[in-house]
Amino acid sequence: MAEQSNSSRGMRTLVSIAAIVIIIAGINLAQSVVVLFLVAVFLALLGTPPVLWLKEKRVPSGIAVLIVMAVMIIVIVLIGAQIGSSFSSFSDELPLLQTRIREQVLELSVVLTRKGIVLTNKFLLEYINPAAVMKLTANLLTGLGSVLSDLVLILLTVTFILLEVSSFPVKLRTVLGDPKQVFPQFTKFATDMKRYMVIKTLINLLAGILIALWMYILGVQFPVLWGFLAFLLHYIPNIGSAIAAIPAMLMALVQLGMGSVLLVAIGYIIIGFIIGNVIEPRLMGRKLGLSTLVVFLSLIFWGGLLGLIGAILCIPLTMTLKFAFESSESTKWVAVLLGSEKFNDK
């Protein structure tokens, strides 16, 4: 009897693992569709608070959604025009920038050799290859542009999500057959998610503006582009701000010299420290309930599965998984493993 029970349990485990593998493979194959949906959900989370606020002011639901969508479209168009212009100029100058970076690296090799530090040109140009960083930056922005090329479809999806926001609890109660049913855990999760996304976006916007101003003051080309890159990559936990600094520092090196590189680095460090250690903890309040290791692994997993959008949304996606695991007694142990030590002690 015990052997049959163990065999049945082993079979269920194998089936569960196979199902997970199939789901992951399906998500990877349908990456473009999943990414569009995630971008739409992200924008809908940002648009939900103003829609609910307008409805509290007795504005009809449809009009509230139209107002929020109109503002969202205007902001996207204005910002997109500025970033698109900067990116176009950056792309035009990319071959020249790569050539100048290569020349700077070769000059650095000569200086290091004089000081007794021998590094071959192959090591500097192939293994380190700073010129490739600029190409990767351009590819990253091009990839984001390809996602936003379906902007009409994304905005339509956002509109329909916002129209359904207020009626979703009513529909769920109807399905469950209890008109007075409340969902405290789900409500708390949805509130925490909206709060995280809105506050994180505002903090990243502040970081992007400060970086753009600092680049403009230093005279580095394309300050709007570097500010946007900082805004975007600050969503990526732990390493996003450092990644955003590298192409800006290379640009400063090519254009203005080593002194400006140090000033750029100092600006990124100070802004990153203030944002990450002063502003963000105060506005975010309590922690996200995810361990540091899980945050890093989620970045690798979602980034590998969904690309840049997956890396940007790795925290919300992992929080959603954690909530789903918490909702069932049989998978609650997984949520405990995902949680932080402080969270698990409570």
In angstroms, the Cα distances linking 25 to 7, 31, 128, 151 are 27, 10, 33, 26
Domain boundary among 268, 285, 302: 285
Q: How many domains does the chain have?
A: 2
Structural domain of 337: 287-346
Q: Is residue 274 part of a domain?
A: yes
If you average pLDDT over residues 81-90, what whole number do you get?
A: 81
Whether residues 281 and 308 share a domain: the answer is: no
If you average pLDDT over residues 178-186, what whole number do you get?
A: 60
Q: How confident is the model at residue 346 (pLDDT cuts 50, 70, 90)?
A: very low
Whether residues 277 and 230 share a domain: the answer is: yes
Q: How confident is the model at residue 247 (pLDDT cuts 50, 70, 90)?
A: confident
pLDDT attached to residue 83: 82
Select from 21, 48, 72, 36 the least CA-distant residue to 310: 36
pLDDT attached to residue 128: 56
Q: Is residue 10 part of a domain?
A: no
Summary count for the chain: helices (H), strands (E): 16, 0
Amino acid at 171: K
Q: Which residues contact 305 (CB under 8 A, 6 or more apart)?
A: 24, 27, 28, 31
Whether residues 204 and 281 share a domain: the answer is: yes
The Cβ of residue 127 has, within 10 Å, a number of other Cβ atoms equal to 9
Query: In this predicted model, which residue has the larger pLDDT, 94 or 45?
Result: 45
pLDDT attached to residue 269: 92
DSSP-based three-state secondary structure for 45: helix
Domain boundary among 240, 257, 285: 285
Q: Is residue 230 part of a domain?
A: yes
If you average pLDDT over residues 147-154, what whole number do you get?
A: 78
Q: Is residue 315 part of a domain?
A: yes
Tokens at residue 21, please?
């593998």
Query: In this predicted model, which residue has the larger pLDDT, 127 or 305?
Result: 305
Whether residues 242 and 322 share a domain: the answer is: no
Q: Which of 47-51, 97-101, 267-271, 299-303 has the highest mean pLDDT?
A: 267-271
Q: Is residue 149 part of a domain?
A: no
Q: Is residue 345 part of a domain?
A: yes
Poorest-pLDDT segment among 176-180, 220-224, 335-339? 176-180
Mean pLDDT of the chain: 79
Domain boundary among 285, 307, 336: 285
Query: In this predicted model, which residue has the larger pLDDT, 32 or 270?
Result: 270
Query: In this predicted model, which residue has the larger pLDDT, 180 or 303?
Result: 303
For 6-29, what is each residue's pLDDT tens digit?
566 667 777 777 777 888 888 778
pLDDT attached to residue 296: 86
Q: Is residue 214 part of a domain?
A: yes
Amino acid at 316: P
DSSP-based three-state secondary structure for 115: coil
Is the pLDDT score of 180 beyond 60? no
If you average pLDDT over residues 60-82, what whole number do you get?
A: 88
In angstroms, the Cα distances linking 229 to 142, 212, 233 are 12, 10, 6
What is the DSSP secondary structure assignment for residue 277, as one 8-state letter?
Answer: I
Q: pTM of the entire structure?
A: 0.79
DSSP string, 176-204: HT-TT---HHHHHHHHHHHHHHHHHHHHH
Q: Which helix (H) or strand (E) holds 237?
A: none
Q: How far apart, in whole angstroms, are the C-alpha atoms of residue 149 and residue 35?
A: 12
CB 252 within 8 A of CB 246: no
pLDDT attached to residue 138: 75
Poorest-pLDDT segment among 183-187, 188-192, 303-307, 320-324? 183-187
Q: Is residue 295 part of a domain?
A: yes
Whether residues 258 and 270 share a domain: the answer is: yes
If you average pLDDT over residues 217-240, what whole number do you get?
A: 89
CB 267 within 8 A of CB 317: no
pLDDT attached to residue 343: 46
The set of long-range contacts for 196-201, using a CB threshold of 8 Å and a minimum separation of 24, is: 196/284, 196/288, 196/315, 196/316, 196/319, 197/42, 197/45, 197/46, 197/316, 198/45, 198/46, 198/49, 199/283, 199/284, 200/235, 200/284, 201/46
Whether residues 216 and 235 share a domain: the answer is: yes
Q: How far apart, in whole angstroms, are the C-alpha atoms of residue 46 and residue 166?
A: 15
